[in-house]
A and B are shown apart, each in its own frame.
Chain A
Amino acid sequence: MTDGLGWIDRRRLLQLLGVTGGALAANLPDRVFAQTRKNTLVLGIDISDTITLDPARLAQYTSPMTVAAAYDALVTMKPGEYINVAPGLATKWGRTPDGKGWRFTLREGVKFSTGNVMTVEDVKWSFDRVINLGDQPSQYIANVDRVEIVDKSTIDIILKEPKEPLLSIIAAPEFIVMERKVAEANGASAAKDAKTADKAAQWINSNSCGTGAYRIAAWERNQQIQLVRNEHYWGGKPPYERIVIRHISDGAAQLLAIRRGDIDAAFNLIPEQIAALKSETSVRMAPLPSLDFVYMALTQEPEFNKALAVKEARQAIGYAIDYDGIVKNMLGGAALRPAHFLPIGVSGSTEEVARQIGFKQDLVKAKELLAKAGFKDGFEFEISYGNAAVQGVTYQDLGLKIQSDVARVGIKVNLRPVDQVNLRTEYTTGKSKGGVLTFWNPPAVDNWLWAGAVINRVAKRVHWTPPDDVRKLVAEAATETDAKKQADLWVEWQKQMVDQANHFVLFQPVYQIAVRNTVKDFPLTAAGWMLDLYGVKPSA
């Protein structure tokens, strides 16, 4: 029996098992790619939410970065400045003589990636397409009545409500300019029946016809988006030949990849992974401020919870939460906290304002408020949340933190994990019976979009009917033209909302992006598209 199996002896077996090892150790084609790697920027990011690259159909979180690289809008926002817009394809703008809209003067000599010159017709056509397609972006400019050509370098956008804001909204990548001729040749339509006539989605998803610094060359779903340099870019020659937006869904894998130099930037690292990079000299952390925030909404429907129906009881919760602990201990300080539904950085919302008028932990005051509300010994309510995390902090952990915070004033929280879609269904239909932990990110940068949401949609969800003077205040603030007065009005509005105590903003993330030192400039922005790809430059 021990004479054994001649056909597969010990050595053969080991060889067999060694096949896999051999394949691993074999030289990888790294060296071959080395040359190309220098001219290529590779971003490691989870882009599984990207489902379309069609500006007029855009609604996701990561896709705007690509769209903003391939196309330009009339006006734009520079990193750090989220109140006033900057010139884009338009160099000048002002109200139309009749005051009903805005007039834009187009930049001269701008060419599309095809080399053709951009015309005023392209601009009008692009706006018409967004409006007539009627997809989600059309709603942000629901106030636009029509777009009119004045002369070959001037165009008017006429509004239904002339006073309502427009400029900051059309800085979003949904409202960019496409080359009409190319788009139409590939099935696009801006006609009244665009909803059914437009067949360009497929083409636009793997190509582009814009004026941006880079051109979309391919999109392999859940794999990568390939951009190539636009040789005709009006802002000078873009530094990279190619940009690869590489889908790496796992933060841990991104960490390994940036260490090895396979990617130049990692977007989805959680605090522990960021800490692991501290000792790495070839990688730096770049802060990506955001206008997103995580908040808790509290219903005030007495049928659901008698205590929550009392304003003072809700305020007591607001004064019991340890906000600083959330920002400092759970997020390592990489977050801000606005007073209410206006993120820090926009009109009327600064860290100073937040400190003055926002909630802060004050257990004595919380107990007083409880007594005043008639719940001296506390009460009970539930907090629902989905199975997700923001900046590496799970809603579950946030729930636990709030639970232990409010317990100190005698309020008992029952945590209730719910599937994400069900949570949203409950919340938006006003069926949430207590608190809901959730996330807010704006489609475009404008106070009106936040404040309007609070008094309309979000108010309904918590069963609050905003009184007329609150509505009036929002309208006034949104249409005020004097910047100082406008900021004051927004502060006043936030004060009232804090007092109303239906929403508690827990933190506004400052995402941490790991960037290799092979990259010099890496202009991250909170404006909605994360990164100004045209401005990314390699180190010499």
Chain B
Amino acid sequence: MPQYILSRLFLAFVMALLATLVIFLLANTVPGDPVLAQLGDMAASNKEFVAEWRAKWGLDLPLWQRYLIFLERLFHGDLGVSISSQRPVLQDIRDFAPATLELASVSFVLALVVGIPLGIMAAVRRDSWIDHVARLVSLIGVSSPTFWLAFIMLAVFYGGLQIAPGPGRIDSIALPPPSATGLYLIDSVLAGDWELFHDAAAHLVLPSIVLAAATLGLITRTTRASMLECMQQDYVRVARAKGLRYRRIVIGHILPNALIPIVTLGGLAYANLLTGAVLTETIFSWPGLGRYTFRSAVTLDFPAIMGITLIVAVVYLIINLLIDVSYALLDPRVVR
């Protein structure tokens, strides 16, 4: 097992590097000029200023040399400085990642906690009202566009019923908690500020539902399908023939086997939530990585783009690794 993990880790490392190379080449084929994405009209027209600026950001060097510099810095744990924020990329990521991490994690838990039981019930009581509800929920979740759902949620619960707080992570006049982890739920507890905890939690409700919607739909459907498949297996028939209570069969026999595809799906879904929240973040003015990534891309902020790519690649690779490892735990046949 350790050997298995080690070899996977090494592969992951190579893959991450490859991902940065691909993005580096892709980002550099865009015909736009980063100078013009960043500088004002007057500065961008001043040749000396532009030349100095290019030199400052290393944009005057040949492509391969720039990539080598990126690699060299990387091995010193330095992702370079973002051109548009003029701060170390690592610091930017550190500032923006917690908001996304918090939102994605809450959404993920929400999707699992609602999606799995719903899927199980739907499978067990096939064609009952609960199955229809589950189907409806997953259909709505999967098919409604995020920006639309986000806006409807805001309009109904914030604007209309006035039972939910508005955009942002905390109330507009609340002060953020002293930063320990950057996760407001945890920081506010550490600071002993329950008022703020309540505020931060309330602000998480709408965006996390919106973000969870698609994932929830997927998980419900997959759970249902997977359960149904397992229910047809011989061992279930045997268990029933033995006279076991149905509840035991579901929990003890069907569920563990049905969970395997959900682990894969869940892992990837989590990675997706972490990296794909741009729209939700925009509408809820959530200061997370999604917005940062978007801005970096449209302003051709190469160091930031590279940094984000690397982080995203690493997140996916780690989650994939965890999936594989958990496979081995769930299904001993995987590792011989």
Give me the interface of A with B, judged by CB distance under 8 Å. Answer: 1, 3-8, 10, 13, 16-17, 20, 23-26, 28-30, 32-33, 36-37, 40, 42, 44, 48, 51-52, 57, 59, 134, 136, 139-140, 201-202, 220-224, 226, 242, 244, 246-250, 252-253, 255-257, 259-260, 262-263, 419-422, 424-425, 428-429, 440, 443, 449, 453, 456-457
A7 touches B168 (CB 8 A): no
Interface segment, B57-65, B265-273, B294-302?
B294-302
- Using Cβ atoms and an 8 Å threshold, which residues of chain B touch A428? 36, 41, 44-45
17 A-B pairs in the complex with CB atoms less than 8 angstroms apart? A13-B117, A16-B114, A24-B202, A26-B198, A28-B202, A134-B52, A221-B92, A221-B95, A244-B172, A247-B285, A248-B168, A255-B159, A260-B166, A419-B32, A424-B37, A428-B41, A456-B45
B40: interface (CB < 8 Å):
yes
Main secondary structure of the interface of B (DSSP, over half): helix
Our pick among A33, A59, A248, A260 for the contact of B173 (Cβ within 8 Å) is: A33
B9: interface (CB < 8 Å):
no
Bound: A477/B313 CA distance, A: 58
A5 touches B121 (CB 8 A): yes
Least Cβ–Cβ distance between B302 and chain A, in angstroms: 12
Bound: A325/B49 CA distance, A: 41
CB 8 Å contact bits of B150-184 with A (1 = contact, 0 = none): 01001101110011111111011111100000000
A424 touches B198 (CB 8 A): no
Bound: A224/B165 CA distance, A: 17
Bound: A252/B282 CA distance, A: 11
- In the complex, residue of chain B having the shortest beta-carbon distance to the beta carbon of A1: B246
- In the complex, residue of chain A having the shortest beta-carbon distance to the beta carbon of B169: A223
A256 touches B46 (CB 8 A): no
- In the complex, residue of chain B having the shortest beta-carbon distance to the beta carbon of A52: B86
- Using Cβ atoms and an 8 Å threshold, which residues of chain B touch A262? 166, 171-172
Least Cβ–Cβ distance between B293 and chain A, in angstroms: 12
Give me the interface of B with A, judged by CB distance under 8 Å. Answer: 30-34, 36-37, 39-46, 49, 52, 84-87, 92, 95-96, 110, 113-114, 117-118, 120-121, 124-125, 130, 151, 154-155, 157-159, 162-169, 171-176, 195-196, 198-199, 201-202, 205-206, 209, 246-247, 250-251, 282-285, 287, 291-292, 295, 298-300
- Using Cβ atoms and an 8 Å threshold, which residues of chain A touch B173? 33, 36-37, 40, 42, 242, 244
B246 touches A425 (CB 8 A): no
- Given contact pairs A36-B173, A42-B172, A140 touches B42 in the complex (Cβ within 8 A): yes
- Using Cβ atoms and an 8 Å threshold, which residues of chain B touch A59? 39-40, 43
B291 touches A48 (CB 8 A): yes
A29 touches B114 (CB 8 A): no
B42 touches A425 (CB 8 A): no
- In the complex, residue of chain B having the shortest beta-carbon distance to the beta carbon of A6: B247
Least Cβ–Cβ distance between B40 and chain A, in angstroms: 5
Bound: A16/B137 CA distance, A: 15
- In the complex, residue of chain A having the shortest beta-carbon distance to the beta carbon of B204: A23
B30 touches A422 (CB 8 A): yes
Bound: A30/B171 CA distance, A: 8
Bound: A422/B35 CA distance, A: 11
B202 touches A23 (CB 8 A): yes
Least Cβ–Cβ distance between B295 and chain A, in angstroms: 7
Bound: A223/B154 CA distance, A: 18
